A and B are shown apart, each in its own frame.
Chain A
């Protein structure tokens, strides 16, 4: 065997140094590459064709898109652990974000790093800026204009209008919208979101109602007239209107519910600075307007202005953002399993 001389050693070290020098650019690129998550379908398309190219141009950050469901992202996160998260910033429904927040994955967002945070409606900013609701899709009542004689005006009409008996469409309890509806019922009839027993008693009075697993099913039921009134997100109603289905949306007098996309920066983010840039981009007034045009979401930037044609399709914006019901998910999360179980047993 050949002796390992000092020259060999130097050569080996030089070679190693050369290799690492070669590897350097890739590595720094890797650190800059931001993993951005979004949902499938139209969301993925919009992220790929509009948002990502625009963000890359303005911020100079390379991005990789991770497409899935909110609950998959959480599974990925848990599989990787708090120390080595696969994301730097995560977008999920606020109720899910709250659960992960309790597990210690996120950290507060410094307002100095994300200037647009100051322009977000205060009710959408979490305490201590630990997460911000950056995209909002409001939920109210949708009904068939041709099949309903007295249009609903408030949530309580679901209970009091006899026309709706047996014709109401709700979401199944696994969907965030059903949980929102339950918590709102608790607030309206029991005085606080903790009045879960009261909410169950009230919702039981609505039986029999149809329970849809997701919005597509609810839209189909409305289109077919199997249900004439539904607790449904407004963008879904607008999509039906564009297809010529005679449906109308109602902003209930008590307030509206909302699917709130919560943006959270990971405590051990692999690309934290890039994550701040991305969040600031998402919260920009013009980006919020772009999303409103694409998804009929309500802009979360206080300076966003919707043109009249769009304002018709996005019923909640500006001053009306205050009418979105707010819930303390940290208090609800420990009860979710019990609530789901009870709903399974009682709501049929």
Chain B
């Protein structure tokens, strides 16, 4: 159980020094740990917190023509983002896209992750490369690939028509289906990799013990492996969900005019219309919704994971 070991390591080291084990959360500027994380803190401060504050400031400015923003401050950008049924519909669609992509990724990714974690084959590293392969090609190129496969006269439709299985092509893109297919393809590695790590840390002898005590394969999976892989499932699902919410290129290329996501609206406002205040407000509404969803999810799934700690 290497994960648990590493978590214990700092405390163990402190005890070896003869000092009292420090309580987590009490790390002032005096401790070594503080100075170790200081560079990361500076980085986060300068490149994450400051820009975020800037975005918040921008979202409160008034709109203007002939200037990036007007003189005064206003809440109107939030009012028009939250009070508009069209924008709310796009927001709901975006969240729904996340909610559909995540379980598909989990269902497809879990068996692969389990196999990768348990395989002793010398082809194991090749499998890793295959899993990572969607990340080795730029997202625009990948989406073009799906365009050629899924379009009305695309490879899939042509093959089905030529085989006589269909008379007219199926609508596979410029809709939610096409976007979901491409998103699952892109984000699958983000589900598989955290799962592999966690499943590897489950001692295989535990499964053997359960089997020898008479549990069926299904029961071993259901009662032992699945509950113990919750940390991986939680990490993977959150990653895929958040990435789906913020995906831009794939929805733009495969969604056509039919699938609009919040990121598409935000980019339209910021880049195409130069409406920085409105775009900033929409971006913040999206990230707030994402954060609330992740927080709720982490609270709910935290219950499953209590027994593991």
Binding site for B on A (CB under 8 A): 71, 74, 78, 99, 102-104, 172-174, 210-211, 213, 216-217, 220-221, 224-226, 333-334, 336-337, 340-341, 344-345, 347-348
Taking the closest CB of chain B, its distance from the CB of A231, in whole angstroms, is: 15
- Indicate if the CB atoms of A348 and B258 lie closer than 8 Å: yes
- Indicate if the CB atoms of A210 and B174 lie closer than 8 Å: yes
Question: What B residues does A74 contact at CB under 8 A?
Answer: 274
Partner of A337, one of B68, B260, B273: B273
- Indicate if the CB atoms of B65 and A226 lie closer than 8 Å: no
- Indicate if the CB atoms of B151 and A221 lie closer than 8 Å: yes
The docked-state distance in angstroms from the alpha carbon of A103 to that of B65 is 8
Q: List 8 A-B contacts (CB under 8 A).
A: A71-B271, A173-B272, A211-B256, A224-B152, A224-B153, A336-B272, A336-B274, A340-B273
Taking the closest CB of chain A, its distance from the CB of B175, in whole angstroms, is: 11
Interface residues of B in 245-300 (CB under 8 A from A): 252-253, 256-258, 260, 265, 267-269, 271-275, 278
Q: Is residue B304 within 8 Å, beta carbon to beta carbon, of the partner chain?
A: no
The docked-state distance in angstroms from the alpha carbon of A103 to that of B67 is 6
Taking the closest CB of chain B, its distance from the CB of A226, in whole angstroms, is: 5
Taking the closest CB of chain A, its distance from the CB of B93, in whole angstroms, is: 12
Q: Is residue B34 within 8 Å, beta carbon to beta carbon, of the partner chain?
A: no
Question: What B residues does A210 contact at CB under 8 A?
Answer: 174, 256
Q: Is residue B221 within 8 Å, beta carbon to beta carbon, of the partner chain?
A: no
Question: What A residues does B66 contact at CB under 8 A?
Answer: 99, 102-104
The docked-state distance in angstroms from the alpha carbon of A103 to that of B68 is 9
Partner of A336, one of B257, B265, B273: B273
- Indicate if the CB atoms of A224 and B268 lie closer than 8 Å: no
- Indicate if the CB atoms of A224 and B257 lie closer than 8 Å: no
The docked-state distance in angstroms from the alpha carbon of A345 to that of B267 is 16
Q: Is residue B154 within 8 Å, beta carbon to beta carbon, of the partner chain?
A: yes
The docked-state distance in angstroms from the alpha carbon of A226 to that of B148 is 10
- Indicate if the CB atoms of B273 and A224 lie closer than 8 Å: no
Taking the closest CB of chain A, its distance from the CB of B102, in whole angstroms, is: 26
Could you list 5 further interchain pairs (A-B, Cβ under 8 angstroms) beyond the known A71-B272, A211-B257, A224-B154? Answer: A216-B144, A334-B65, A336-B272, A337-B269, A344-B257
Question: What A residues does B274 contact at CB under 8 A?
Answer: 71, 74, 99, 336
The docked-state distance in angstroms from the alpha carbon of A348 to that of B258 is 6
- Indicate if the CB atoms of B151 and A340 lie closer than 8 Å: no
Closest B residue to A72 by CB, please name it: B271
- Indicate if the CB atoms of B271 and A174 lie closer than 8 Å: yes
Partner of A340, one of B86, B152, B258, B272: B272
Question: What A residues does B267 contact at CB under 8 A?
Answer: 174
Question: What B residues does A211 contact at CB under 8 A?
Answer: 256-257
Question: What A residues does B154 contact at CB under 8 A?
Answer: 224, 226
- Indicate if the CB atoms of A345 and B272 lie closer than 8 Å: no
Taking the closest CB of chain A, its distance from the CB of B9, in whole angstroms, is: 45
Interface residues of B in 42-61 (CB under 8 A from A): none
- Indicate if the CB atoms of B151 and A226 lie closer than 8 Å: yes
Question: What B residues does A226 contact at CB under 8 A?
Answer: 151-154
- Indicate if the CB atoms of A345 and B273 lie closer than 8 Å: no
Given A103-B67, A174-B268, A226-B153: A345 and B256 within 8 A (CB)? no
CB-defined interface of B64-102 with A at 8 Å, one 1/0 digit per residue? 011110000000000000000010000000000000000
The docked-state distance in angstroms from the alpha carbon of A74 to that of B66 is 12
Question: What B residues does A348 contact at CB under 8 A?
Answer: 257-258
Closest B residue to A217 by CB, please name it: B253
Q: Is residue B195 within 8 Å, beta carbon to beta carbon, of the partner chain?
A: no
- Indicate if the CB atoms of A224 and B151 lie closer than 8 Å: yes
Question: What A residues does B65 contact at CB under 8 A?
Answer: 102, 333-334
Taking the closest CB of chain B, its distance from the CB of A148, in whole angstroms, is: 15
Partner of B253, one of A102, A174, A213, A347: A213
The docked-state distance in angstroms from the alpha carbon of A157 to that of B269 is 33
Question: What B residues does A344 contact at CB under 8 A?
Answer: 86, 257, 260, 265, 268
Closest B residue to A209 by CB, please name it: B257
Closest A residue to B69 by CB, please name it: A78
Q: Is residue B182 within 8 Å, beta carbon to beta carbon, of the partner chain?
A: no
Interface residues of B in 136-189 (CB under 8 A from A): 144, 147-148, 151-154, 174
Taking the closest CB of chain A, its distance from the CB of B291, in whole angstroms, is: 26
The docked-state distance in angstroms from the alpha carbon of A46 to that of B174 is 35
What are the 8 closest A-B residue pairs judged by CB atoms, nearest first? A174-B272, A102-B66, A211-B257, A337-B273, A348-B257, A334-B65, A226-B152, A224-B153
- Indicate if the CB atoms of A345 and B147 lie closer than 8 Å: no
Closest A residue to B89 by CB, please name it: A345
The docked-state distance in angstroms from the alpha carbon of A336 to that of B275 is 10
The docked-state distance in angstroms from the alpha carbon of A104 to that of B65 is 12
Question: What B residues does A102 contact at CB under 8 A?
Answer: 65-66
